[in-house]
């Protein structure tokens, strides 16, 4: 299992367009991917569930990945979150 705390710096947090980019990247991996924000956990492969976590700019999220490709997933998703636009 891979776990990391990552600060979201995108102006819009992980909502709508940037959230969709993140979810699309998550779906590239077979591992289970969960995002936690302020006690709310969400399946990162579902945009609706991700949006229910209420992730805003400057929130520090906990990204948990478990599965065969967890290391590669963590490496890519950290970069995706750091480079989100929109």
pTM for this entry? 0.94
Q: What is the pLDDT of residues 75-86, one digit of tens each?
A: 999 999 999 886
Domain count, the chain: 1
62 has a pLDDT exceeding 80: yes
Residues in the chain, overall count = 86
- DSSP calls for 41-69: EEETT-HHHHHHT---TT-EEEEEEESTT
Q: What residues make up the domain containing 26?
A: 2-82
Q: What is the pLDDT of residues 13-61, one digit of tens each?
A: 988 899 999 999 999 999 999 999 999 999 999 999 999 999 999 999 9
Q: What is the CATH number of the domain that holds 43?
A: 3.30.1340.10
Which residues are known to be catalytic? 15
């Amino acid at each position: 299992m891979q776990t990391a705390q990552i600060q979201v710096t995108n102006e819009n947090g992980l909502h709508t367009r940037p959230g969709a980019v993140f979810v699309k990247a998550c779906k590239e991996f077979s591992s289970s991917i969960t995002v936690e924000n302020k006690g709310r956990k969400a399946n990162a492969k579902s945009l609706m569930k991700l949006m229910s976590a209420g992730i805003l700019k400057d929130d520090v999220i906990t990204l948990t990945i478990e599965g065969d490709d967890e290391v590669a997933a963590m490496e890519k998703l950290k970069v995706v979150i750091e480079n989100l636009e929109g």
